[in-house]
Structure 1
Amino acid sequence: MRYELVIFDNDGVLVDSEPLSNTILAAYLTELGHPTSYEDSLRDYMGGAVHRVHDTVLERTGRRLPEGFDEEFHARVFAAFARELEVVAGVPDMLAKLVAEGVPYCVASSGSHERIRVGHHKTGLDRWFPEGRVFSAQDVGRGKPAPDLFLHAAERMGVAPEHCAVVEDSPLGVRAARAAGMDVYGFTAMTPATKLGTATGYFDDMGQLLGLLA
């Protein structure tokens, strides 16, 4: 293994949450008078923290989202997670191989700590990501595409950025990893490689990842 730390995005990489959360976000924004399709939501918000939604709506319309937007959105998402969320195929086997090889890893997500915990508990990933290996945009203030979150995770894990590999599935995440000076591998299960920018490499099956990292 040529890396000293593997940093995973969460939504869409570890848990198959992007279809659920973007369907809910598009419907909620439309309900509030900001017509948004599922495709619009993926394009504009996938991989970003919730403040990106506020900033984008304000910039485009001059109107602020209502107080309580975050709480209502998260309540709807968590309810959907409880019903339907699944782990991304191949993730537990891939993590087991990383552990067997003694390669440190962590998660760095634009989602809140609560969102990460809810999803990991539902899918059983909490056993793979104990406290100390979970980092959220809440920890740094500026979410992706700023590099802050990935740099924070690397610092907390005690590894220099140039020795880290990031696994991402969104253009915002790829940009953030590049800005942090890290190699980044684009997971193309939902987003084609042509839209992921300048990733170091691309893969569409978790079984392929360790070969790329070796």
Structure 2
Amino acid sequence: MTKHILFDCDGVLIDTEIVAAEVVTRWLNQQGVVIDTETFIHQFTGKTFSDILALLVDSGKLAPPLEIKKAVAAMDTEIRANMRPISGVEEMLASVPLQASMVSNSATDYVLEAIEMLGAEAVFGQRVFSAELVAKGKPDPAVYLLALQKLGLKPSEVVVVEDSVAGVSASVAAGLRTIGFLGGSHVRNGHGAKLKALGAEQLVSNHEELQKLLQQV
């Protein structure tokens, strides 16, 4: 029996994945990394900024030493300034039939800011599980396992809504039923097939479809 819904934030509720891709790509280009926005979307959407920069340093594409925390903070500020809800999200959240939490690779204060902007305090309360709280962010399942532990729930009692390869990889690895959301501006052709291949049980194209599906779970 489903008792709880775990929502990702960016790309599911807030349409910032495309903004993040543009901001980080522009910064990487300034550092001499040859990458465009489309490549960034395909390779890195859903991962933490710190993990992305660390991967690029390890692969030799980004020269060390790199002040990762300082760079991440600057990009995060620009992305927050462009935070906007995905169309239809307020109506979907107003009809959520179960208690819900947010599970995100973004910082806790950012997620709480997003909840306030959406007017969704009654839906989520302070139930935010961020990658800041675990050793590794998505695609590692640690943040989802932490949510289950803190909420006192079994995997069979939870359904997840995720938009990214990293997010679906994490939730499926945690043994959770996952809905793939395709309503963000960053979603490209073939993305749904990728999420299905990773284990997403169902796909929805927008919040109207998600609202109807959640009424059935």
Q: Note whether the superposition's TM-score is higher than 0.5.
A: yes
Q: Percent identity?
A: 27
Unaligned runs of 5+ in 1: none
Q: Which runs of 5+ in 2 are unaligned?
A: none
136-145 or 49-58, which deviates more? 49-58
Distance, in Å, in 1 between the alignment partners of 2:121 and 2:39 is 31
- The reply to whether residue 11 of structure 1 matches residue 10 of structure 2 is yes
**Aligned twin of 1:204:** 205
Looking at structure 1, the residues matched to 25 and 53 of structure 2 have their Cα atoms a distance apart, in angstroms, of 13
Cα gap change, 1:127/1:41 in structure 2, threshold over 3 Å: closer, same or farther? farther
CA distance in structure 1 between the partners assigned to 2:141 and 2:118 by the alignment: 28
Instruction: Tell me, yes or no, if structure 1 residue 64 matches structure 2 residue 59.
Output: no
How far, CA to CA, are the matches of 2:174 and 2:194 in structure 1? 19
Q: Distance in 1 between matches of 2:202 and 2:29?
A: 36
Shift of 1:173: 0.8
TM-score by length of 1: 0.87
Deviations 1:32-75 (A, max 9, x none): 111221112112221112232133212321733621x3333333
Asked whether 1:112 is paired with 2:123, we answer no
Q: Deviations over 1:157-207 (max 9, x none)?
A: 221112211100001111111100000000112252112232110001111
Residue identity matched to 1:51? S
Shift of 1:91: 1.6
Q: CA 1:70 to 1:44, structure 2 compared with 1: closer, same or farther past 3 Å?
A: farther
2-side partners of 1:12 and 1:18: how far apart? 6
The count of aligned residue pairs is 207
- TM-score w.r.t. structure 2 length? 0.86
